[in-house]
Each structure stands twice: as structure tokens, then as C-alpha cells.
Structure 1
């Protein structure tokens, strides 16, 4: 039992803090765990702690939804979510949107009742009459809330195109206004797949290339959501098909990683550069080979993409396909004349990595 309690205590300690406690005995660790639990108030809010104990409390706050990679970096909870995680005793959804790219409006799992702003309630219900009456009464519906959201953002988020049109016409200067996460109404509409709101905003003159804090544009988000209609609309309204996010990833990289041929075609015909590389020197064809997306790979090859493209560590597309066991990809690349003698920075050839992985086909 003592061993179990001690192991539980160790699990709450992050890797970077482990050295602080490695010299403690199991009994000392158990006492620390008991003392920490006694210092919490009835609702789980830790009492004032020393810096050392605070480090333990923060150890379990950050959750990574998937393995980090050059195009899928490690995810970190923002400070506001850290506070929420402490208050509820569990990690909260991402305000930047690990699932949707936008903040969750209301968490139905919370035990506390949330008082909804009457403006938000009216917009959520699509009550145009109520919104119009509020404006007639002199209420200013262009004032942001604590998250930087204005009613126009709410209308775009909830897909209420009637309310959105009313608000846009009443406050035309707010069309490109950003939230604290630097999301515009156009970005929110795209993230949620609200095509009517998306088209209405574009027709009203919304700027299609305003990005969020991660430098992701509405077009990038459309590719992430595999929403071909949204991507087509944005390209028609001159969205930049070569815009890069903060990792150098373009919309084409994103579409290729999802093997979405329709969107890939829209982007390439809209001017996307097939040889654009991210911060690791990875092109779209490299992404297709690395992730086993054969249809996307064939499309890019037909467009003249470099079969022998290499990342910044000199790994070739063929090397990555061998490393990940994508036999059909390897066969296709070789049929297109891929050089099997290109070594990575460690001098390893595709043949070496294939043998190491036990790929004998």
C-alpha cells in the first residue's frame, strides 16, 4: 500500500520536477501527499503553496492530444485553462480549439449554472427581432466581452446569418475585428462550417487572410476541416493559397496530410506552390510520402513535384516512406525515378531503414 501511494505521488510530479523529489523516501513522499491533500479547500482549490508544492500541482495540467511531429507540435494549455483546471480538478477544453479551432462557448458538464448574456441568447436562437429591438433601444452591440468577442462573432459562431447581416450592416467597421485569440468572424464561421455566414461576410468585404495567433487563416482552417465548399469560396474571394502558419505549414500541406484531392485541386488551381516547404524543409509531396497518402502523392507527381525532395535533415521522401512502412508509396516513388541512393544526415539510405524496420517486400 505504501508503495502504491508513493507511486501515485511520483506520477503527479512532472519529468522536469522529478529531481527535486528523487532523494525523498517513500514515507516522506506519502507524508507530502497527505499534507498536500489537507491543504486543499472543500471544492478542490489548493491553498497557498510554496513554489515547490506549486510545481507539483501544475504537473498534470498539460495534455497532449497526439504525438508531436514537425507538423503537429506539442499542445499546451493556456494560462486561463490552467486556472480552470485547478478549479475543477480536470483539464478543460482548449480555448484555441484543439477540436474546433475556436473556444467552447459553454461547457455543459459543469455543475455551475452559467448566466447567458441576453444578446448572446437572442443570437443563438436566431431571434432577429430581439436583436433589432436591442439596437433600436440604443444598446451598443459592438462592445467586446472579456474574451474580445462581439455579437458579430457570436452570430458567425452559431451560424445565424440573419443576425449576422443585421450586425454587420449596423456596425460595418467591426467586420474584421478580432477576439483575444485573434479570430475574426470569418475565421469562426469557417471553423464551424457555417457557409451562409462565410459567404455573407466575404460579400460584405471581409478580409480572407487575417490569421489567428497561430497564423492560421480561414483557408487553412477549411483544409483542416476538409470543407471543400468553404475552401472554394475563400479561393474565389482571393484568399492567399500560399500563406504560412507559424510552423511554415501551408493550406496545401494541410490538405495533402488529409488526402483531400478535391481541396488539393482547388488550391493548386488557385495558385498554391507545390514546392513550398515548412520550417523543416518538408514539401507537400514529402508529407504525402511520409503519411502514406498515395492519391495525393500521385496528384502532386502529375503536377511536377520533385520526387527526390529532401527535408532539412536530408531525409528523402523515399526514406520516410520506407521508415513508415508505406510499401505502395515506395513502389510508386521508385516507379517515378526516385533516387534510392540519397542518404540522410547520418548516412543512412532508404535500404538501411527498410532493413531495420523489417520491410522485405
Structure 2
């Protein structure tokens, strides 16, 4: 296991070159070798959505929960960015649903911020905590309202969260309810969804 082999693995992962990933591993590269920013090869592949390179690394035993210097893991980043194929691979290989990012949030919270419906459904089906509160005092429901734009996509995000049992009584860090946050932004369709769910 030499530094040269580890470097070859990291470069291959960043390029999405799955055959080169496998070759580097066969040559003795450490599957958990870290490069710039403390990123493992799997995190590098995930941040560029290189599915086959990520698959090769996971097949070789890469830790889907290993975090880089800014607290991103392959699982958390795939969930936050809607890289659903890699997300599914991480979930099938030991992803820690309670793992949190640098803001103290689970993968579900940034997925809701970005309106990533397919990702949200994957995470909810996997059993993620719909009511986890991050360091900002927000749940996924708060995030969808405060950082969303009230469009049809975000109405559907809210509907999906409510169907999964999201608690509309949890206030944000300032004591404001999700319904009040939606009302003050003029998101009438979201207010209606919350009223229906109460």
C-alpha cells in the first residue's frame, strides 16, 4: 500500500473511471485513503455523481458513512444533492440514517430544502426521522417552507412529509410554527396542506 497507489485511486474516483478504481484497489490502494479536504475516494466519486466508480468502491467495502473535513459522507451528500443511484447504494450498504451534516441535519433536511422529491421519498421509505431538528432549529418541514419558494414542487414536498407523519406542532428555533411560517410567506397552498393534516 503506497501513497502512489492511494493517489491513483483518488484520481480514478474523481474522474469516474471505475476500471481504474478497481485496478488501483487490486494494486493495493487503501479503500479509505483520503485526499484533499479529507475526502475518501467514495466521497470524491459521490460529489461528482460517478455512479459506477462509487459502486466499485462500495463493492470493495468503502465506508458509506466516512465523512470528509466538512462532515459530508457519501450517504449524506447523495441525499442532499439528489444523487439517487448512489443514495440507494449507500442505503443498501449500511448508511446511518441518523448521521448528520455540519449543520446538524440529516440527509432529509437539505433534500427538502432543494425540493428533491424522489430523494425525499427514498429517504422516508428507508425510515429516516421525519422530525429531526437541526442546529438551526429546523425540521425538514421548516426547511421546505423557509428555504423553498412555495411552488407546486414544495407543496408536494410538504404533502409528502405530512403523509409520513411530520409533526406540524414543532416550532422553529424562534418558536414559530410551520403553519405560521408558511402563512407569513403567502404560501396558501402549503397552509392548506398543513390544515388538512391537523
Pairwise TM-score range, normalised by the shorter structure: 0.7 to 0.9
CA positional deviation for 1:174: 4.3
CA positional deviation for 1:232: 0.7
CA distance in 2, matches of 1:209, 1:173: 13
CA distance in 1, matches of 2:104, 2:40: 21
Asked if residue 332 in structure 1 is aligned to residue 160 in structure 2, the reply is: yes
CA positional deviation for 1:175: 3.5
Moved more, 189-198 or 226-235: 189-198
Residue of structure 2 in register with 1:175 after alignment: 4
Residue of structure 1 in register with 2:20 after alignment: 197
Q: In the comparison of the two structures, how many residue pairs are matched?
A: 184
CA distance in 2, matches of 1:286, 1:218: 25
Which secondary structure does the structure 1 equivalent of 2:64 belong to?
A: coil
Asked if residue 212 in structure 1 is aligned to residue 35 in structure 2, the reply is: yes
CA positional deviation for 1:279: 2.5
Unaligned runs of 5+ in 1: 1-171, 178-183
Which secondary structure does the structure 2 equivalent of 1:175 belong to?
A: helix
Asked if residue 223 in structure 1 is aligned to residue 46 in structure 2, the reply is: yes
CA positional deviation for 1:260: 2.2
Residue of structure 1 in register with 2:182 after alignment: 354
Which residues of 2 match residues 160-171 of structure 1 at below 5 A? Answer: none
Which residues of 2 match residues 58-207 of structure 1 at below 5 A? Answer: 173-176=2-5, 184-207=7-30
CA positional deviation for 1:359: 0.6
CA distance in 2, matches of 1:299, 1:270: 15
| Largest Rg, 1 or 2 | 1
CA distance in 2, matches of 1:249, 1:348: 29
Asked if residue 243 in structure 1 is aligned to residue 72 in structure 2, the reply is: no
As a proportion of its length, which structure holds more helix?
2
CA RMSD of aligned residues (A): 1.5
Residue of structure 2 in register with 1:32 after alignment: none
Which residues of 2 match residues 41-60 of structure 1 at below 5 A? Answer: none
Unaligned runs of 5+ in 2: 190-198
CA distance in 2, matches of 1:224, 1:282: 18
Q: Give me the TM-score of the superposition, normalised by structure 2.
A: 0.87
